[in-house]
């Protein structure tokens, strides 16, 4: 009886959050270890399906960096990164599109559907969802040490998100699963960082929340301790001090995009924790780092 009462108390704790987010859109960037561990995959899929059944509208944007790198290495290619972004030549772009828009996207869709949901997979090319342009990177010349602009090939950045197809899927009761591939003005294909796509999609949908699943607890201070809440200004200071660097830079850039698009709250959450989404959305304490304006 005690265990049953505890379960009831957990449901009651979640009630005000269910009421608050009913009918609202939650954009989730799915990536990292949560995409590699079978039990975490199931946990994620069940969380998303539950969210849909209790009246929320989850939208998934997925990554796939490790899978792309493994496929490249099998083909005798060496992955290259600058400031956390993948350098994407034409051959790499073909692999990116095959892995993200094909294998990974369909696996996630199937996982959600097999757990009772109705998911629909798409890339930024579908329905003109993501218009993109070439992204240039800032680097340092190995010869002179002077700053330089790096042409990273088919690396792109979001120019515009046309959310019409997402709204149509939402009205039809589907959970959109988006691969971060965009299309240029002349039909060229671009590889876009999944965190940045998630931020742009959240802004376009005026989502209530953007949740970024990561392989760390959240944003850490200089001593490696979790910071539970930050403002945009505080994050900018941590970037200047290089406390935030590398792969976390695109994530905080996505957070800024979302907040600038009137998204309510942004959360950087440890995707290695089972049911991380439910813990973040439906409990008093939550987990990870919350970023606000």
Q: Quick one: 78 exposed, middle or buried, by C-beta within 10 A (0-12, 13-18, 19+)? A: exposed
Q: What are phi and psi for residue 158, nearest 5 degrees?
A: -70, 130
pLDDT, one tens digit per residue, over 224-248 is 999 999 999 999 999 999 999 888 9
Range of the domain at 33: 22-280
DSSP 8-state code for residue 77? -
**Phi, psi angle pair for 206, to nearest 5°:** 50, 50
- Which neighbouring-strand residues pair with 230? 291
Residue carrying the six token digits 């698009």: 261
Whether 9 is in a domain gets the answer no
Q: Does residue 16 sit within a domain?
A: no
Question: What is the structure's pLDDT at 90?
Answer: 95
293 domain residue, yes or no: no
Q: 171 lies in a domain?
A: yes
Is 234 domain-assigned?
Answer: yes
Instruction: Give which of 101, 108, 14, 16 is closest to 58, Cα–Cα.
Output: 108
Give me the number of domains the chain comprises: 1
The gap from C-alpha 8 to its chain's centroid, in whole angstroms, comes to 32
* pLDDT of the residue at 283: 81
In a domain, 118, yes or no: yes
Share of the chain above pLDDT 90, in %: 75
Whole-angstrom Cα distance, residue 113 to residue 96?
24
Q: Point out which residues pair with 151 in neighbouring strands.
A: 136
CATH number at residue 194: 3.40.1160.10
Asked whether the beta carbons of 39 and 111 are under 8 A apart, the reply is no
Give the chain's length.
Answer: 293
With 0-12 CB in 10 A as exposed, 13-18 as middle and 19+ as buried, what is 41?
Answer: middle
Residues with Cβ within 8 Å of 276's Cβ and at least 6 positions away in sequence, in order, are: 34, 43, 44, 47, 213, 269, 270, 287, 288
Q: Which residues pair with 210 in a beta bridge?
A: 27, 266
pLDDT tens for each residue of 143-176: 777 788 889 999 999 999 999 999 999 999 999 9
How is residue 1 written in tokens?
């009886």
Q: Give CA separation, 98 vs 35, 112, 156, 191, 255, in Å.
A: 17, 21, 17, 11, 28
Spell out the per-residue pLDDT of the chain, length 293, in tens. Answer: 777 677 777 778 888 888 889 999 999 999 988 898 899 999 999 999 999 999 999 999 999 999 999 999 999 999 998 877 899 999 999 999 999 999 999 999 999 999 999 999 999 999 999 999 999 988 777 777 778 888 999 999 999 999 999 999 999 999 999 999 999 999 999 999 999 999 999 999 999 999 999 999 999 999 999 999 999 999 999 999 999 988 898 899 999 999 998 898 899 999 999 999 998 888 877 789 999 88
Q: Is residue 2 part of a domain?
A: no
229, part of any domain: yes
**189 near 134, Cβ under 8 Å?**
no
pTM of the shown model: 0.92
């Amino acid at each position: 009886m005690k265990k049953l009462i505890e379960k009831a108390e957990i449901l009651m704790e979640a009630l005000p959050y269910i009421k608050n987010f009913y009918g609202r859109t939650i954009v989730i960037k799915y990536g990292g270890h949560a995409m590699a561990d079978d039990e975490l995959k199931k946990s994620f899929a069940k969380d998303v399906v539950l969210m849909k059944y209790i009246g929320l509208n989850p939208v998934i944007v997925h990554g796939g960096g490790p899978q792309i790198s493994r496929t490249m290495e099998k083909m005798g290619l060496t992955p290259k990164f600058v400031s956390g972004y993948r350098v994407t030549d034409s051959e790499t772009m073909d692999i990116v599109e095959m892995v993200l828009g094909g294998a990974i996207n369909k696996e996630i869709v199937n996982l959600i559907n097999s757990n009772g949901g109705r998911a629909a997979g798409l890339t930024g090319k579908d329905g003109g969802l993501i218009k993109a342009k070439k992204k240039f990177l800032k680097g340092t010349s190995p010869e002179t040490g002077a700053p330089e602009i790096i042409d990273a090939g088919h690396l792109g950045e979001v120019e515009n998100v046309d959310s019409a197809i997402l709204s149509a899927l939402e009205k039809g009761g589907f959970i959109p699963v988006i691969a971060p591939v965009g299309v240029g003005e002349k039909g060229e294909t671009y590889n876009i960082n999944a965190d940045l796509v998630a931020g742009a999609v959240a802004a376009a949908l005026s989502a209530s929340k953007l949740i970024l699943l990561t392989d760390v607890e959240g944003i850490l201070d200089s001593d490696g301790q979790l910071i539970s809440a930050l403002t945009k200004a505080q994050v900018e200071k941590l970037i200047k001090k290089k406390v935030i660097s590398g792969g976390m830079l695109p994530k905080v850039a996505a957070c800024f995009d979302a907040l600038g698009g009137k998204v309510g709250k942004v959360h950087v959450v440890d995707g290695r924790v089972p049911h991380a989404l439910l813990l973040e959305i439906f409990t008093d304490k939550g987990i990870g780092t919350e970023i606000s304006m």
